[in-house]
Structure 1
Amino acid sequence: MPPPRTRGTALRQRLADLRGPAVPSKALDARALAALAANPGCRRRALLDGAGVDKSSLADALGAPSAFGQSQFAFMRGNAFEARVKADGGAELLRLVQENLDPTAEPPRKALVPDLAAIGPEGRAARTALALREATEARGWALLDHPMLALDVAGSPAFLEPDAVVVHPDGSWTVVEIKSFPLLDGSADPAKVGAAARQSAVYVLALEEVAARLGTTPEGRAAAEVRHQVLLVCPKDFSNLPAASPVDIRKQRAVTRRQLTRLTRIEEIADGLPDGTCFAPDLPQEKLTAAVESVPATYAPECLAACELAFHCRSRSRAEGAVTSYGRSLRAELGGLTTVDEVLAAAHGTAGDPDDPAVAALRRAARLRTEALAAREDAVCH
């Protein structure tokens, strides 16, 4: 068996070959990781994200372009709001953290704001880890602006960049997410808050790996603790003034960790591909389609809001008659029946085990439908 360094180098070369010659790698961010964790059975997304394939360009080349993304106006508005929140060394941001999450601590009149510049994502991640160690040992307020964190995902490193991480005087760490959607009367759109919580859970998992490397104090306590309450900072009502809301992400963290653990390792998926498989968007559409179809996908309607390849996968899923096209809850209720043809055959009594609860329920539903239609026809005739 080759040493780990050799295996890692070989995997990186294999993933580069999958992207295509001279095609740059697309970074895997926390939003993509949260979406991947929500659908861990999809090997297609796991491989493409792990290989750094630009799925938006791939979808365009397949003739099924994605239909979501942030507008330029929203992007500029978000950047302007974040700059305001972090102005003056992050004084307002630190005040919000102290008031909402650590009211008994001394107000952050002066805070450490370390320089996190370094070469490449690996260098920035190492610099972030060092800055977190130094700030934790200093036992004072510190603000890390756009730190870089590393998280192992199915055997491939993902580099993540939260908006901010705050170090408290007690040595604990808090993730801060800055969003441009408003807090109206102290609350925000639950769907947007849920998405922010899932994204923050990924950052918390990555921070916990850094904290674990710091070890324990001589007294046996953890040298650093990652708080499971993150701070969501948004515009207040319809103004540009910042307001904050603590969000408990323990549930999202547990679900995300469990789902990421379930992901098949990237090298296992790559080893099962035909020789010469490549996802370069400049390939002929027929060859590109064959490459994409060589990796199994698990489509569900929720993919439409989270994956650039959703339209392509939906069309294929419908063509195959897969019941997952109609939702995971329906798929779960149908047991071993995975296609629409199998479901119809079971309902009509031409296939399926009658002792199977799903088959029995389908046949009962078919009888009730037949009886209802017959009763309606009799009523019309009379």
Structure 2
Amino acid sequence: MDARALAALAANPGCRRRALMDAAGVDKAAVARVLGNPAPFGQSQFAFVRGHAFEARVKAEGCAELLRLLGAPESTEAVLPDLSAPGPEGRVARTRLALKEATAAGRWTLLDHPLLVLEVADSPVYLEPDAIAVRPDGSWTVVEVKSFPILDGSADAVKVGAAARQAAVYVLALERLGFGTPEHRVLLVCPKDFSNLPAAEFVDVRKQLSVTRRQLTRLTRIEEIAAALPEGTTFDLRLADDGRTATRPAAELSDAVDQLPAAYAPECLASCELSFHCREQARGCGAVEVLGRGVRGELGALTEVEQVLAAALGTEGDPDDPAVAALRRAHALRAEALGCR
């Protein structure tokens, strides 16, 4: 798992399908392609290269531009500690030590791609923010560098929200260190207009942090999810066939995926590679989840679209049920508006 996967999982903690497949490192995009429901999104190679080039520009010349965006006085020079170490555990320990030293030093320090760890459902998740700035007062600021542009002073709200949720995971990991003061404002750095010039805004992530903290405590332990699977369940796309390697049949892979309960919601379409497969399943069984979490909450015990339609038409449902009464009232108003009465 990484911060992006954790942020998406925190937004939908009931999805055991995503929780286990992310924890196991399954390539969900490849699985979706085999199942015939590929997600039409993902970062192109061009966008990937452009993003790395933009981040390199932001951090060039001793991170001078990044210091300016953080509000450091002109001509400030920051300490850039070496965070290299063998293995993830070593990098986490080196990051922790660098944060302690920088906090006590009382000067500007920038940690470039530090490594943090967060315990989620009793499993360690390693997280790598773009940078962490330690200010002279000892406070810490998470820096997120994104390649989507800020046009005329504003950026895509959906992308900013996703970046804020991802940054909130980093802030939560810093809080769990037990020392230091991570700020609840993160610095979001993006290209200005259609240029490669960096622009930045401070984004308050207290709301996202609160939601993430609460939702991650509700996650079921990965071992419990795996224990409920039939013996031999695998999501491997390849299988051995008489000493040769062959592609696993889509039907066999679909059966394995269906062993894991999903919690589909329309919001999944923007963040999960398996969302189109899950949507097709939800539509196939007439689940009201396809209409959104808000609608699902309003409908109460009505869990299928056919039940909803029958309740609206008056052929099924308890008239004392507030959801049924509201549906019948809405149906009557619609008929009246259309002149069908």
Confirm or deny a common fold (TM above 0.5).
yes
List aligned pairs for 1:284-303, cutoff 5 A.
Answer: 284-303=249-268
Instruction: From the superposition, tell whether residues 347 and 91 of structure 1 become closer, same or farther in structure 2 (CA, over 3 Å).
Output: same
For residues 109-132 of structure 1, the C-alpha deviation after alignment (integer angstroms, 9 at most, x for no partner) is 232111111222222112111111
Indicate conservation of the 8 Å contact 1:94/1:108, yes or no. Answer: no
295-304 vs 260-269, greater mean Cα deviation: 260-269
Question: Alignment partner of 1:255: what SS?
Answer: helix
Q: Is the 8 A contact 1:47 1:270 kept in 2?
A: yes
- Asked if the contact 1:43–1:269 (Cα under 8 Å) also holds between the matched residues in 2, the reply is yes
Query: By how many angstroms is 1:239 displaced?
Result: 2.2
Residue type of the alignment partner of 2:172: L
Does 1:255 find its partner at 2:241? no
Letter in 2 for 1:91: A
Q: What residue number does 1:344 align with?
A: 309
Given residue 199 of structure 2, which amino acid in structure 1 is its aligned partner? A
- Measure the CA separation in 2 of the matches of 1:256 and 1:191: 17
**In the alignment, what sits opposite 1:96?**
69
TM-fit CA distance, 1:243 = 1.8
- In structure 2, the partner of 1:165 is 132
Partner SS for 2:30: helix
Out of 125-134 and 332-341, give the one that drifted further: 125-134
Partner of 1:380: none
2:91 corresponds to which residue? 124
Aligned positions of 1:47-86 closer than 5 A: 47-86=20-59
CA-to-aligned-CA distance 1:252-311 (integer Å, 9 cap, x gap)? 111111111121221221121111111112233222111111111011111111100011
CA contact (8 A) 1:186 1:245 kept: no
- CA separation in 1, counterparts of 2:174 and 2:324? 47
Report the secondary structure of 2:22's partner residue: helix
Aligned AA (1:130): L
- Confirm or deny: 8 A CA contact 1:95 1:108 kept in the other structure: no
C-alpha displacement of 1:78: 1.1
1:125-183 superposed Cα distances (whole Å, 9 cap, x missing partner): 12111111121122211111111111112222111111100111111111001112222
Question: Which residue number in structure 2 is paired with residue 220 of structure 1?
Answer: none
Cα distance, 1:108 vs structure 2: 6.5
Structure 1 unaligned spans of 5+: 1-27, 100-105, 215-223, 378-382
Farther-moved stretch of structure 1 (309-318 vs 132-141): 132-141
Given that residues 114 and 131 in structure 2 are in contact (C-alpha distance below 8 angstroms), is that contact kept between their aligned partners in structure 1? yes
Alignment of 1:300-319 (within 5 A): 300-319=265-284
Cα distance, 1:50 vs structure 2: 1.8
Which of the two has greater helix per residue?
A: 1
Name the structure 2 match of 1:151.
118
1:154-193 matched pairs, under 5 angstroms: 154-193=121-160
CA distance in 1, matches of 2:109, 2:155: 28
Partner residue of 2:191? 235
Give the partner amino acid of 1:37.
Answer: A
Q: Partners in 1 of 2:170 and 2:148 — Cα distance?
A: 20
Residue 186 of structure 1 aligns with an amino acid whose one-letter code is: G
* Structure 2 gap segments, 5+ residues each: 239-247
Aligned to 1:42: 15
Q: Aligned equivalents of 2:152 and 2:275: distance in 1?
A: 35
RMSD of equivalent CA atoms: 1.8
Distance 1:108 1:232 in 2: 22
Instruction: Give the stretch that moved more between structures: 200-209 or 180-189.
Output: 180-189
- Aligned positions, number: 332
Name whichever of 345-354 and 263-272 sits farther off: 345-354
Q: Structure 1 CA distance, aligned partners of 2:140 and 2:236?
A: 40
Aligned counterparts of 1:203 and 1:129: Cα–Cα separation in 2: 14
The amino acid that maps onto 2:273 is E
Change (3 A) 1:62 1:239: same
* Structure 1 position 330, deviation (Å): 1.1
What are the within-5 Å matches in structure 2 for residues 8-27 of structure 1?
none
Please state whether the residue corresponding to 1:166 is helix, strand or coil.
Answer: strand
Q: Is the 8 A contact 1:184 1:236 kept in 2?
A: yes
1:262 aligned counterpart, secondary structure: coil
Q: For 1:330-358, what per-residue CA distance to the aligned partner results, in whole angstroms no more than 9, with x for missing partners?
A: 11110011111221232233332221100
